[in-house]
Structures are given as structure tokens and as C-alpha cells.
């Protein structure tokens, strides 16, 4: 499987597969974010998801794919640190404001920085038309966040704190996207990087979740929490794994931008599942985001 995937790098078939993977990952990531922001505390929810990341990935990492060799252990260690910082900033942002406020800020601030990082690290270059697409997409996402923010009735101080954490989280999205793209390209078998990444990176948040529960004295219902965690782990494999494979097959910047159509899916999830309002202005901004993604994809 790994050899077949590597053989598609730089081919038209590889680019088509990368596009399909990224769009699937965008939908999955929106669902992933909603699971973390659901009825459970975001720290506890993420701890449950990460626990299942490790449990689900263990058999694959230990018995199916080749084990990492040499410098790959260091690459994986770097990924664990970067993703831990990302997860902390994401949980802190969710702790202070609504899903539809936080999520667009995170996703809107990430693509521009990722494209810049990709140009430096991978020597990728966007055309003027593609930069127009990035402007449409990121601008639409951030305007969507402002629209959602205008309807918030919580303490303004909490909103400001949430926005600070959300912007920092967006920066970490750009960092981990670039690093993961570099990391998966260092592996002879890309599935070695994927399996061991999920296996190792799931050990941190369960510990923090247990500490949070002990401090608060809350006793969440274990059954629903575990089912949410299992669903989140499966969806996370699709989301993060899909993007990582896509960045090996095709350009990192284009994958990063196209993935941010997750904001459109997130708005729909917030509307239909979480009961949050979506009006004509929000729909227009969602359309602008989608147009931006199409411009980036077609303008290369």
C-alpha cells in the first residue's frame, strides 16, 4: 500500500487523489471539531478522543506497518510536541467561546501562514489567481467569524480571550501542517509515519483530562464519553491522515487551503446538529469560502 502511494507522487492520478482526500478531510475535521466542542468539557472530550487514537492505532503501529528507523523517531517526537501545543490552544479557545466563533478564526488564520511556510520549506509558489483565491477563502472565513461574534451574548472579556487562543491555534495549524508534510516525506512508508504519529500523540491529553476531572469533581457518563472518543478517533484518522497523505502526493499550500472548506461544513454542523443560527449573510460568506477554494484549485 505504501509503495503504491509513493508511486503516485507528482502524477495526475496523485493530484486527483490528493484533492479527494483533502475534501474528505475537511468534512471530517468539521465533525471532529464539533465532537470536541459538544456537551462534554473540551479537555475531557479531547482526552477521550486521544485515548482512542492510541488504542485504535496500536495494532497498526506495532504489528502492521514497518517500525520507524533512525531519525524518524526524532521526527515523530517533534510532531508530538507541535500537536500538543495545538491541542492545548484549541481546548482553551473552546473553553471560552462558542464553536462557530472559535472554529472559523482558527481555520481562517491558518491558510495564509501555511502557504508562506510552504513557499519557504518546499519552494512552492502560488500564482496571482491563487492568491486571490486565498484572499477570498481566508477573508470569507474571518468575516464569518466576525458575523458569529456579533451575535455572542457572553462576557466580552471571555470572547477576547477566546479569540487570542484561536489566533494562536491558527498559527499552530500552519506549523503542524507544514511540519507533518515534511515529516511524512521523510518516511519510506508514509503509513509508518501515520500509524506511529497517532499511536504516540494520543498519550498526552488523557492525562490532562484525568487531572481536570479530579480537580473539578465532575463524573461524566463514561459510556457516551467513550463512544464520542471512539467516533472522534476514527474521524480524526480520516481528517489528519487524509491531509498528511495529500501533502505527500501534491502541493502542501493547495492542500492546506482546500482543507479550510471545513469551515463551511462546520457552519452546517453548527446549524443542523448544534442548533446554531445560519442566516443569508452567513450562507453568502460560506459561498465565498467555497469560491476561494475553487479558485486556488483551478488557478495553479
Q: 290: buried, middle or exposed (CB in 10 Å: 19+, 13-18, 0-12)?
A: middle
Give pLDDT, residue 289: 85
Q: What are residue 175's phi and psi, to 5 degrees? A: -65, -50
| Residue 297: pLDDT over 70 | yes
DSSP string, 61-75: IIIISPPP-TTHHHH
Integer CA distances (angstroms), 165 to 46, 104, 266, in order: 16, 13, 19
Q: 176: buried, middle or exposed (CB in 10 Å: 19+, 13-18, 0-12)?
A: buried
278: left (phi over 0), alpha (psi -120 to 50) or beta: beta
pLDDT digits (tens, 9 = 90+) for 237-247: 998 899 999 99
pLDDT digits (tens, 9 = 90+) for 200-237: 999 999 999 889 888 877 777 788 888 888 988 999 89
**Contact (Cβ atoms closer than 8 angstroms) between residue 102 and residue 220:** no
What is the average pLDDT across 278-283? 74
Give pLDDT, residue 238: 92
What Rg do the C-alpha atoms of the chain give, in angstroms? 19
Highest mean pLDDT of the ranges 37-51, 100-114, 154-168, 177-191: 177-191
Give pLDDT, residue 54: 96
**Contact (Cβ atoms closer than 8 angstroms) between residue 166 and residue 96:** no
pLDDT digits (tens, 9 = 90+) for 253-270: 888 888 888 777 777 776
Give pLDDT, residue 38: 59
| Residue 153: pLDDT over 70 | no
**Contact (Cβ atoms closer than 8 angstroms) between residue 28 and residue 238:** yes
With CA atoms as reference, report the closest residue to 108 among 52, 159, 147: 147
pTM: 0.86
* Three-class DSSP category at 152: coil
* Mean pLDDT for the chain overall: 86
| Residue 36: pLDDT over 80 | no
Exposure string of 60-97, with b = 16+ CB inside 10 Å and e = fewer, is bbeeebeebeeebeebbeebeebbbebbbbbbbbbbbb
**Contact (Cβ atoms closer than 8 angstroms) between residue 52 and residue 204:** no
Amino acid at each position: 500500500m505504501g509503495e503504491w502511494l509513493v508511486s503516485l507522487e507528482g502524477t495526475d492520478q496523485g493530484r486527483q487523489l490528493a484533492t479527494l482526500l483533502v475534501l474528505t478531510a475537511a468534512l471530517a475535521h468539521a465533525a471532529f471539531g464539533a465532537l470536541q466542542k459538544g456537551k462534554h468539557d473540551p479537555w475531557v472530550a479531547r482526552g477521550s478522543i486521544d485515548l482512542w487514537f492510541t488504542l485504535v492505532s496500536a495494532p497498526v503501529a506495532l504489528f502492521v506497518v514497518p517500525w520507524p528507523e533512525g531519525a524518524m523517531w526524532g521526527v515523530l517526537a517533534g510532531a508530538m510536541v507541535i500537536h500538543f501545543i495545538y491541542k492545548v490552544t484549541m481546548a482553551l479557545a473552546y473553553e471560552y467561546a462558542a464553536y462557530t466563533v472559535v472554529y472559523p478564526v482558527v481555520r481562517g488564520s491558518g491558510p495564509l501562514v501555511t502557504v508562506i511556510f510552504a513557499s519557504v520549506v518546499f519552494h512552492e509558489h502560488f500564482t496571482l489567481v491563487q492568491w486571490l483565491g486565498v484572499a477570498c477563502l481566508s477573508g470569507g472565513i474571518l468575516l464569518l467569524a466576525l458575523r458569529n461574534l456579533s451575535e455572542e451574548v457572553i462576557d466580552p472579556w471571555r470572547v477576547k480571550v477566546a479569540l487570542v487562543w484561536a489566533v494562536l491555534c491558527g498559527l499552530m495549524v500552519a506549523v503542524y501542517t507544514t511540519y507533518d508534510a515534511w515529516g511524512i516525506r521523510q518516511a519510506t512508508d508514509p503509513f509508518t509515519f501515520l500509524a506511529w504519529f497517532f499511536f504516540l500523540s494520543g498519550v498526552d491529553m488523557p492525562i490532562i483530562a484525568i487531572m481536570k476531572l479530579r480537580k473539578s469533581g465532575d463524573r461524566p457518563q463514561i459510556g457516551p464519553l467513550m463512544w464520542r472518543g471512539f467516533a472522534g478517533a476514527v474521524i480524526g484518522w480520516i481528517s489528519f491522515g487524509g491531509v498528511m497523505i495529500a501533502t505527500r502526493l501534491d502541493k502542501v499550500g493547495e492542500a492546506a487551503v482546500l482543507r479550510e472548506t471545513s469551515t463551511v461544513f462546520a457552519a452546517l454542523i453548527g446549524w443542523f446538529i448544534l442548533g446554531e443560527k445560519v442566516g443569508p449573510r452567513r450562507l453568502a460568506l460560506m459561498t465565498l469560502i467555497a469560491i476561494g477554494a475553487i479558485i486556488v484549485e483551478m488557478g495553479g
